[in-house]
Structure 1
């Protein structure tokens, strides 16, 4: 659902100014971005590059699907040609992941094991990004969009959700697509099916969520408008239920860490 009134130039300037100001106030030198071969990381890294500050793009394959690797490398190559402040590094985490698996129990539930290992991949990548950020005195830039971060909670807590700042988290996926076109992200990335790349295969986000991002954006808008599932039928009702269920069960990711406050009379 493209937004015809989407102000790509103005939004780009706003985000770039925000990134630069935040980094300057934090007294850091630049940004570190994990590059997956997807549109969100491509847009985020391009916005960081536009600040003029050092931007380090990191590839972190873990038994990665070849198509993801190809798109990531295509984007990094194109970005380095456009911006002299962009550099890249590659940390092959496959042996680290395999060693970790060797030293922990597998459990009896195959589906639960697969999901736990997928989240482990994301957390290994987060640790790696912060390692590079520490070396380069940089901030880790998040790549989550609004539907993922505040709609359905489609991210790993302390994995891809573990970042210093989130430049595109107030943009829906359709808006990220519009921004990608304006920022000249390669078409192969813009057109690619969204995927988190955490399972070592080519399954898409839609395969996991049960709905497309356009459908989830629609459901997000309906829920924000106070609509109820009984107001819809057929596929719309199904999508609304999917969104509502994910939004409910993933609130623990979206809300601040709960703190047990001790009454004054006990301290």
Structure 2
């Protein structure tokens, strides 16, 4: 992979898009993970205003520490980087009480409330983006956004631009090394940070990103009958999640009304 060329391409793309949109730059949510670490660095490299938001919600301290180690590193390297910590835990707790969460009645309530964390962060990014004249920059990668749909609709999926969505997770890690991100970010185990207990992406999905990427690259060319053993298990995981995520991956369906009905 030609990392330096990809980095230059994305930075120029972000800069051109912002200038054509007549905005000052970008706002990025920084979680302490590799995706947001790479994206925030690419935004900083544009020379445009880059606002980094760390938005804890019942957050694990190691995630907070990684996020701020990265943020401080970028602030030291780039004069155009600003950062804020917006504690969303009180707002989250109020919603928890307002919605009267009762896991024993609604089996999907834990997942729904995990997604609520992501949607609170989206609201926050758009608020600070709008008052500062910035676009919300997404941090989703190819396997999450277009493979298994491992993101929250109108949460971390609610963005203005998506600079790394054509890169697989393993390629994002390569960019992290090329960008010389802080070691803790480069070595961070992928997690969505939406649960009160530690749950890695692999634990939630049942497969690693390299395993999923292998299937995604062959998906539509190879079918279930072409796999055996562990590859078959991962194919079944990918196939199930990909089909279930079509409402995220595809544009919102519009009910088209026949013209003669309108006349």
TM-score by length of 1: 0.96
Determine if the alignment matches structure 1 residue 49 to structure 2 residue 44: yes
**Number of residue equivalences:** 261
Determine if the alignment matches structure 1 residue 153 to structure 2 residue 149: yes
- 5 Å-filtered alignment, 1:223-238, equals 223-224=219-220, 226-238=221-233
**1:251 match:** 246
Determine if the alignment matches structure 1 residue 86 to structure 2 residue 77: no
The superposition leaves residues 178-225 of structure 1 with CA deviations (integer Å, 9 ceiling, x where unpaired) of 00001111121111110000012321011111100000001101214x
**1:163 match:** 159
- 5 Å-filtered alignment, 1:4-153, equals 6-107=1-102, 108-109=104-105, 111-153=107-149
- Mapped partners of 2:12, 2:105: distance in 1: 47
The superposition leaves residues 2-44 of structure 1 with CA deviations (integer Å, 9 ceiling, x where unpaired) of xxxx101100110000000000000000100000000000000
Determine if the alignment matches structure 1 residue 216 to structure 2 residue 212: yes
Aligned to 1:119, what secondary structure does the other structure show? Answer: helix
Aligned to 1:63, what secondary structure does the other structure show? Answer: coil
Aligned to 1:132, what secondary structure does the other structure show? Answer: helix
After TM superposition, which residue ranges in structure 1, 4 or more long, deviate above 6 angstroms?
Answer: none
- 5+ residue gaps in structure 2? none
Aligned to 2:82, what secondary structure does the other structure show? Answer: strand
TM-score by length of 2: 0.97
Deviation at 1:110, TM superposition (A): 5.8
1:176 to 172, 179, 197: 172
- Mapped partners of 1:187, 1:109: distance in 2: 43
Instruction: Name the Cα RMSD after superposition.
Output: 0.9
- Mapped partners of 1:221, 1:98: distance in 2: 41
* Contact 1:43–1:176 under 8 Å retained in 2: yes
Determine if the alignment matches structure 1 residue 207 to structure 2 residue 203: yes
Aligned to 1:159, what secondary structure does the other structure show? Answer: coil
Deviation at 1:176, TM superposition (A): 0.3
